[in-house]
Amino acid sequence: MTTTANSTGRAPEAGRSEPVLSVGDLTITFPASRGGRGGSQDGGLNVLDALSLDVHDGEFVAVLGPSGCGKSTLLRALGGLLDPRAQVEGTIAVPSDASGRRATAWMPQRDGLLPWRRAMANAMVGAIAAGVPRDRAYPRAQQLFEEFGLAGFERAWPHELSGGMRQRLALLRTCLAERPVLLLDEPFGGLDPVTRRRMNAWLATVHLTEQAAAADAVARDASTTGSGVVLVTHDIDEAMTLADRIVVLSDRPGRLLYEARARQGGEERYDRGSLLSALDC
């Protein structure tokens, strides 16, 4: 059932370097809730089914799929946030930092901004949680506030910011963690379509993979292991605008249905028709 649409044959990165992040035959099942809800078979809810996915250095991968196909579960598994009751089979390989901690930064669908911290303090949560020293994180935060169009709002409370600003701030916080792998769970899912389009256009100019790589280089004293971004979304335009590669998952349990790599130099980066038909089956 897995098909690979690729104009240039094999991916240039594949085989040449070790993947930054690798998932092999990943099957995740949640034990049945005692109430015995519908949709569960064999006493459990099978969310992902034998999914394999590699992310190579510098790659921005979008995972596209219908609601409930296990996209968010995949991202939580990559970020080490899986419910401990979940049964996991297969392999998950993510980079770790010098102190052995998981070198991923996860951004939730709802921004997760702490209501009791002002904008700058919320951004710094990324640095604090990841153990980035303040004297390095703070100047970078100031610079990113400028780049992310948030300058002047450093002392605003989260509730004073618009939906789009909140998401940008959440993304800024994620960047400040200086992790080489960014995991974005529907970062613009809660926004209205107009704001969402603007955010996507803006995000395409930010070059998150380069941000992550640069930050990681600083964090590791230039001995970087490579960087990557995994974006989970159900918005086909979002995926087409941002990603170097799109992976389409099936309905639950999520299996790999289709994979497409962005064309270089062409007008249309992806063949929308085949993406849509992959989503429809």
Partner 1 sequence: MIGATHRTQRVPGSRLRAALIGTATVAVLVAAWEAAVRIGNLPPFVLPRPSQVVATAVEQAPLLGPHVATTATEAVLGLAMGTMLGWLLAVLTSAFPTSGQISHPVVLLSQTIPTVVLAPLMILWAGYGLTPKVTLVALTVFFPVLVAATAAIRDVDAEYSDTVAGLGGGKAHQMWLVRLPASVPGALAGLRIAATYAVGAAVVSEYLAGESGIGVFIQRSRKAYAVDQIFVGIALIAILSALMVAAIVALRRVATPWQTNLVST
What residues line the site for partner 1 (CB under 8 A)? Answer: 79-81, 101-102, 104-108, 110, 112, 114-117, 125-126, 128-131, 157-159, 173-174, 177, 179, 183
For residue 279, the minimal CB distance to partner 1 (Å) is 27
Residue 247, C-beta contacts closer than 8 angstroms, at least 6 positions apart: 53, 61, 62, 63, 64, 256, 258, 259
The label of the residue with tokens 């769970």 reads: 185
Label residue 219 exposed, middle or buried (CB < 10 Å: 0-12, 13-18, 19+).
buried
Q: Which is nearer to partner 1, 219 or 256 (CB)?
A: 219
Closest approach of Cβ 209 to partner 1, in Å? 18
Nearer to partner 1, 72 or 200 (CB): 72
Judge residue 266's burial from the number of C-beta atoms within 10 Å of its C-beta, 0-12 exposed, 13-18 middle, 19 or more buried: exposed
Nearest Cα residue to 232 out of 185, 165, 164: 185
State the minimum distance, in angstroms, from the CB of residue 177 to partner 1. 5
Of the candidates 248, 266, 269, which has an alpha carbon nearest to the alpha carbon of residue 70? 248
- The structure tokens 């909140």 sit at 166
Nearer to partner 1, 102 or 207 (CB): 102
For partner 1, which is the closer residue by CB, 55 or 219?
219
Q: Which is nearer to partner 1, 48 or 105 (CB)?
A: 105
- In whole angstroms, what is the distance from residue 131 CA to residue 231 CA? 24
CB of 275 closer than 8 Å to CB of 248: yes
What is the smallest separation between the CB atom of 173 and partner 1, expressed in angstroms? 7
Q: How far is the CB of 101 from partner 1 (least distance, A)?
A: 6
